[in-house]
Amino acid sequence: MTSIKSRLRGASSTYVISTVMAAATILVPAAAANAAGQQESSVIMIEEVVVTARKREENMQDTPIAVSAFSEKALERQQINGTTDLDRITPGLQFTSYGQLSGNNSAAQVFIRGIGQVDPTGAVDPGVGIYVDDVYMGRSVGGAMDFNDVANVQVLRGPQGTLFGRNTIGGAVILTSNTPGDELGGSAKVRIGSDNQREFSVAADLPLGETLKSRVSVSRRTRDGYVTRLVDGLDLGDTDNWAVKGALRWTPSADVTVTVRADYSKADENGSPFVFKEINPNAAFVAAVSVGAGCPGATFPPPSTPEINDPRCANNFWNLGPFTNGGNADVSSKTENWGLSGVIDWTVNDNVSLKSVTAYRDLTWSGVRDADNTPFTILTTDYSSVSKQFSQEFQALFEFGALHGVAGLYYFDEDTNDYVTVFLGAPPPVVAAGGVGSRDLQIVDLSTESWAGFTEWTYDVSDRFSVSGGLRYTEETKGMQLIAFNIFPSTLPDPDPLPTSTPALFVEPDLFETDFSSMTGTLKAQYRWSDSLMTYASWSQGFKSGGYNQRYNAPPPGFLPIAFDEERATNLEAGFKADINRVFRLNGALFHTKYKDIQLIYRLGVVPLLFNAGSATIDGAELEMAFVPTDRFMIEGSLGYLDSKIDEITEVPGTTATVGPDNRLPFTPKWKGNIGVSYVFPLSGDLELTPRVDLSYTASQFFDAANSIEVAQDKGVTLVNASLRLAEREGGWNLTFGIENLTDELYPVAGNSSLSTATGYAEIIYARKRTWFLSAGLEF
């Protein structure tokens, strides 16, 4: 019999993928035939997209990088309302919230081409860089965000270590806000929908003079949760946030522009929508709480819990389905995020332009999570964090005829304070006797100081052939000071003063520092065969920062914190970009990535720790297509293929490996595709009606490198969204009704498993089922 895991490794949707591929094949000759007859008066035309993947504005079709770019109108057309929607329309990208172990709804898990990071703690850096208005966001929490007055989004696939630097080993997601306009005006949007969804946003341009312009935007979003807690009816997975942005643009001369931005957002929500998935009735903590609660037949020792339908037993009868939670901890998710930035652009002359980006950001967040999702205290985490970052970047852009390039300096400084309490059903003998458990308290100060110098140059050998090369050198210092110890019983308050030495503390409370340095480079060659076709080949490198592990519930060797080094990736890629009269566009890439020194989770007891203990190979292919067969009909889509596996792992003495050779990397579905179709029907009175259908497919995938089948997406998922939009032809007002997940699919989006440890639990999050919305917009 074929195992579930074997089926998961090879599963794909032949029907969906063949549909998308067949569409692309059929459309190529159709596009060519249509190109000559395309009229200037076309209602629909493929957008000419400008990207900044090489730190300068250039047409996406001229850029030798695999990049997906979406304007504000394209995002609205496809109902992409936030960063977590981007993976529906972007090959190679997986973008989900609810980062493992965080309990926070805005904790992003972002993977591009199989490389990313699931751990949101302050000691671990993301593997995909998120940039908002030229500013790097240092923490993964806050990365899962709604779009508020966003002008465009770019997704750069593959290592971006030369121009974007550290923590872009998988790629980068770049968000750019609208800039202040020259005339008074703006827009407003409202949206209602299922589960008491209520949203509104307003943005306005407010000119303050000939040289000074401003823009302000405000948004508010609320929605009921979709997972109900049995004990008190609390709805989990709710939305309750608001955000405000402001921008000033000053042009003291034709050659100088100064842009100052400020943003603030706040979310106060009930908690992540995790539910019980599975429990190991023979795990020590599970059996101990069952005995303590009086479960008939439960024993400790030896640890054993009978599978009987009795509320006193911590067993698999607590699986209440995908939308009911059996926990009782005081769960919550809170995020407060704000920042200031200043950008100076100075065109010195026809050959040289200078740019300065100065920014400060402040992030405060918390997440309380009932990990076992039962009424028992097997494992509950209470995580609070404050992070402050400052960054400064200087860029110089050069244009010398056939030679053009960029050079720059970058500085980054970040301080993070984490305050973590972990409630445990331990020690098990006390819990089994009816006593309360203990709790681990971890107070950690983390610091990062990094600087880098970089340059990349392009030489146009001819009008058709160009070569590029670049280097970046980075140095960084990571620091950690940790207070970690156990409090027994858990009902005792935090001691004052705190312990100051081992063995009361798990780790020496000294300041520990470690230094890293990295040289990353890129080489590219591109050839333009005609005005419609460009091909390229590239070699690129990237790295993700190392640091110190901060989770301990027992002393590590020598009472010293365990450090881990950088990850590294090297990518070989060949691609093409074809665009026929902005009527048919087809971009594609083939890539081969060697991923080394992977930071993999090994367990020291029940605690997950990171070690550089693996290497992997990732091969893949991507296609993106847009086609306008008539002036009112549009088809757009993408297709991605990923073949990833861990080649080897290294044994770490004293720990238990959770990963094996041939395991797949997390968040790497083998196949992923989407296709969207829309048609504009002209109506009387300067109105138009646009029906649209979007189909997306994601093959089976794991949510951890351990390939835990109990919390995996074990089969392919096909989603269908549909909408009907009525609008004035030349802007003005619009009205849209839509249905998301039209076929009411049930599928997981995140999960976490500790079945093999003493805590013995597995938890999972499912997406919302079918929902509807009605939105209205007005431009003024």
Which residue reads 């998935």 in tokens?
Answer: 277
Mean pLDDT value across residues 337-355: 98
Q: What 3-state class would DSSP assign to 686?
A: coil
18 backbone dihedrals φ, ψ, rounded to 5°: -65, -30
- Is the pLDDT reported for residue 31 higher than 60? no
Q: Where are the beta strands (DSSP E) in 545-686?
A: 547-548, 563-564, 567-580, 584-604, 607-627, 633-649, 656-657, 671-679, 681-683
- For the cut 60, the answer to whether the pLDDT of residue 333 exceeds it is yes
Q: Is 421 helix (H, G, I), strand (E, B) or coil?
A: strand
- In this predicted structure, what is the pLDDT of residue 127? 96
d(CA 408, CA 386): 30
Q: Which of 774, 661, 777 is nearest to 192 (CA)?
A: 774
Element (H, E) at 345: strand 332-347
Q: Residue 550's closest CA among 119, 140, 106?
A: 119
Per the prediction, the chain carries an average pLDDT of 92
Percent share of the chain, pLDDT over 70: 94
Report how far residue 694's alpha carbon sits from residue 755's, in angstroms, rounded to the nearest whole number: 38
Region 356-374: what's the mean pLDDT? Answer: 97
Report which of 244, 173, 247 is spatially closest to residue 202, judged by C-alpha positions.
244
Identify the CA nearest to 562 among candidates 503, 499, 514: 514
Phi-psi region of 517 (alpha: psi -120 to 50; beta: other; left: phi over 0): beta
Q: What is the mean pLDDT of residues 615-643?
A: 97
What pLDDT score was predicted for residue 507?
A: 95
Exposure of 120 in the CB half-sphere (CA atoms within 13 A):
30
Residue 43's pLDDT band, with cuts at 50, 70 and 90, is low
pLDDT, tens digit, 9 for 90 and up, residues 735-756:
999 999 999 999 999 999 999 8
Least confident piece of the model among 132-146, 325-339, 645-659, 713-727: 645-659
Banded pLDDT at 121 (limits 50, 70, 90):
confident
Whole-number pLDDT of residue 658 = 83
**Residue ranges of domains in the chain, CATH in brackets:** 4-378+404-779 (2.40.170.20)
pLDDT tens digits, residue range 517-533? Answer: 999 999 999 999 999 99
DSSP string across 44-97:
------EE-TTSS-EEGGG-SS-EEEEEHHHHHHTT--BGGGGGGTSTTEEEE-
Residues of the chain with pLDDT > 90: what percent? 87
Q: Which two tokens stand for residue 175?
A: 């968000």
User: What would the pLDDT profile of 231-262 be if each residue is shown by its tens digit?
Assistant: 999 999 999 999 999 999 999 999 999 999 99
Closest by CA to 174, choosing from 158, 150, 148, 202, is 150
C-alpha distances in Å from residue 72, one per residue of 76, 154, 177: 6, 11, 10
- The single-letter DSSP state of residue 763 is E
For 255-281, write each residue's pLDDT tens digit: 999 999 999 999 999 999 999 999 999
Q: Cβ distance 16 to 695 under 8 Å?
A: yes
**Mean per-residue pLDDT, 52-74:** 96
Q: Strand, coil or helix: what is 586?
A: strand
Helix (DSSP H) and strand (DSSP E) numbers for the chain: 5, 42
Query: Residues 415-459: pLDDT tens digits?
Result: 999 999 999 998 999 999 988 999 999 999 999 999 999 999 999
The C-alpha atoms of residue 158 and residue 464 are separated, in whole angstroms, by: 25
Residues 168-179: tens digit of each pLDDT: 999 999 999 999
pLDDT of residue 28: 41
